[in-house]
């Protein structure tokens, strides 16, 4: 399996450092966070070439491009049609960025749909947005990874069963699924259930540690997750796809220290 470095935690420094660290610490690829100042979708003219240059210089591919869309101002689940369509356009722009830098996937999620929406309204908004996004993905030959979020972050897609329902209902060749292992763990769901239920539809994992109670993403080795056992299970199941160590903003002051600590721990778990 390939191990990726997520660049979100490097946002107070230069993106060059993330590529340099990935190479130095033994990561296999970059999962590029699509936010300013490094790789915002609407900064494609000024940023894409910079990213391509670092890909070549450090021989470190960007496998996945992950635009920021869990917070203001973009959310494909907004009730307001104009705001929701703006968010869908933003995802399409993100796919353009991914194509420019040679990323295989654009990773998206559905934010909170608001407490006033019922389950049918949420499903209609989600499916409408995904169909529009996938139409553009097909035209541009891009691939989408859809990520579930915890119940603390979203009221749309939070479980393996919901992910399987979406995959079966939409059944589009450019739509792929993933799991962030913190989500099932803190919600009392089986972490490996995503692999069992989604099978080949699952192409990616976010690996991180947890306090066992909240959606906080903790550096591997500093939390309570049984990561060594999980890594062994993944090996035994011949999981050969990608997994990104998703350190976000908890370690934003010293991203290099924790990027190294994280991959060292995961590699120990894989021995």
* Residues annotated as part of the active site: 147, 246
Q: How many CB atoms lie within 10 A of CB 102?
A: 14
Residues 174, 193: Cα–Cα separation, whole Å: 22
Whether 41 and 96 have beta carbons less than 8 Å apart is answered as: yes
Which residue in this structure is represented by tokens 């490097």? 10
CA distances (Å), origin 164, targets 148, 170, 249, 255: 11, 10, 30, 34
Residues 93, 44: Cα–Cα separation, whole Å: 9
Q: What is the largest CA-CA distance in the chain?
A: 51
215 closest CA partner among 176, 240, 182, 245:
182
């Amino acid at each position: 399996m390939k191990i990726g470095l997520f660049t979100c935690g490097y946002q107070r420094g230069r993106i060059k450092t993330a590529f340099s660290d990935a190479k130095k610490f033994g990561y296999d690829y970059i999962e590029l966070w699509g936010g300013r100042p490094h790789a915002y979708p609407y900064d494609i003219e000024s940023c894409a070439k910079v990213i391509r240059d670092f890909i070549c210089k450090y021989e470190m591919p960007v496998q996945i491009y992950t635009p920021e869309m869990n917070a203001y101002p973009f959310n494909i689940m907004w009730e307001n049609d104009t705001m929701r369509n703006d968010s869908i356009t933003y995802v399409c722009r993100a796919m353009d960025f991914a194509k420019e830098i040679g990323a295989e996937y654009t990773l998206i999620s559905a934010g909170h749909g608001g407490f006033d929406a019922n389950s049918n309204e949420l499903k209609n908004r989600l499916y409408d947005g995904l169909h529009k996004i996938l139409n553009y993905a097909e035209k541009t030959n891009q691939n989408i990874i859809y990520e579930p979020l915890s119940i603390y972050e979203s009221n749309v897609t939070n479980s393996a069963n919901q992910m399987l329902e979406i995959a079966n209902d939409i059944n589009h060749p450019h739509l792929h699924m993933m799991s962030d292992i913190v989500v099932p763990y803190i919600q009392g769901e089986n972490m490996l259930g995503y692999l069992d239920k989604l099978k080949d539809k699952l192409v990616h994992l976010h690996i991180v540690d947890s306090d066992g109670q909240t959606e906080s993403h903790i550096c591997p080795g500093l939390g309570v997750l049984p990561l060594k056992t999980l890594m062994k299970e993944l090996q035994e199941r011949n999981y050969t796809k990608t997994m990104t160590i998703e350190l976000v903003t908890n370690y934003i002051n010293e991203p290099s220290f924790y990027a190294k600590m994280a991959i060292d721990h995961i590699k120990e778990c894989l021995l």
